[in-house]
A = this chain, B = another copy of it.
Amino acid sequence: MEYYKDEPSLLLAVDCIIFGFDGESLQILLIKRGFEPEINNWSLMGGFIQPSESPDEAAARILNNLTGLANVYMEQSAVFGKPNREKHGRVVSITYFALIDSKKYQQILSDKYQANWFPITDYPKLIFDHVEMINTAKRQLRSKAALYPILFELLPEKFTLPQISSLYEAVYDIVIDKRNFNRKLLSSNLLIKLNEKDKENSKKGAFYYILNKEIYKDQIMSFLRYLPSWSAQDLDK
């Protein structure tokens, strides 16, 4: 630090916005904060970046400590750093958003950890600027998902066509014509049909599909052009 010794240092934190999907609606994972200040109030999962780790590593560590989750899709979202966003001192926070299949972890989370899923449309009061963080992440999720097929990260490995359309309906808050959407989806070659049906959600049963990983890896969702004439308001809400 010989050169920079006169520069002001500060605390750098990470907060994770964890989106989940249970087959019906979009959810968000929150915890009762485990340390002061604001202990026991609902909050995003957060923590401080340690000297030995990058922000990405910190986000993965924090997520793992607080929920047991690992190997989850996660990406940098935004930086929140207004001087007074925390009253107790200068803390700048980098947010990350994660996408997971919330059904897979429902039990583990509430048993071992103080974490709980809430509907994205109705969650408790949060500390600091965490609501703003969630809104920013939601906006980014929509933009990103308009170009890349990342929403599949919210589904189980085997999923059905009705599940995908519900997912898109939940994320963009729109109504989708399933006939057209399914056609578009299938013509993308992203999906491989299995000889197996999900009988949980209907009597007839819906065929399972899995992702064609080869194509998925770096595919742009041109098929998403199907979504009806967006306006910027739609994406920015």
Residues in A lying within 8 Å of B, measured CB to CB:
1-4, 7-12, 35-37, 48-55, 76, 78-79, 81-83, 88-92, 94, 143-144, 146-148, 218-220, 222, 225, 229-233, 235-236
In the complex, A4 Cα to B9 Cα: how many Å? Answer: 14
Q: Contact partner of A3 among B1, B36, B233, CB < 8 A?
A: B36
CB-nearest residue of chain B to A222: B229
Q: A143-B147, A220-B231, A235-B147 are in contact. Are A11 and B7 (CB under 8 A)?
A: yes
Is the CB–CB distance between B36 and A90 below 8 Å?
Answer: no
Q: Contact partner of A12 among B82, B92, B229, CB < 8 A?
A: B92
Is the CB–CB distance between A88 and B1 below 8 Å?
Answer: yes
Taking CB atoms, residues of chain B closer than 8 Å to A225 are: 225
Task: Give A88 Cβ to nearest chain B Cβ, in Å.
Answer: 5
Is the CB–CB distance between B232 and A83 below 8 Å?
Answer: no
Is the CB–CB distance between A79 and B51 below 8 Å?
Answer: no
In the complex, A222 Cα to B82 Cα: how many Å? Answer: 34
Q: Contact partner of A4 among B53, B55, B88, B219, CB < 8 A?
A: B88
In the complex, A155 Cα to B10 Cα: how many Å? Answer: 38
Task: Give A20 Cβ to nearest chain B Cβ, in Å.
Answer: 24
Task: Give A136 Cβ to nearest chain B Cβ, in Å.
Answer: 10
Is the CB–CB distance between B7 and A9 below 8 Å?
Answer: no
In the complex, A220 Cα to B234 Cα: how many Å? Answer: 10
CB-nearest residue of chain B to A37: B3
Taking CB atoms, residues of chain B closer than 8 Å to A54 are: 81-83
Taking CB atoms, residues of chain B closer than 8 Å to A146 are: 147
Is the CB–CB distance between A50 and B8 below 8 Å?
Answer: yes
Q: A54-B81, A218-B231 are in contact. Are A89 and B1 (CB under 8 A)?
A: yes
Q: List 18 A-B contacts (CB under 8 A).
A: A1-B89, A3-B35, A3-B88, A4-B48, A4-B89, A8-B48, A9-B11, A9-B12, A10-B12, A12-B12, A55-B92, A76-B78, A79-B79, A143-B144, A143-B147, A148-B232, A220-B230, A222-B229
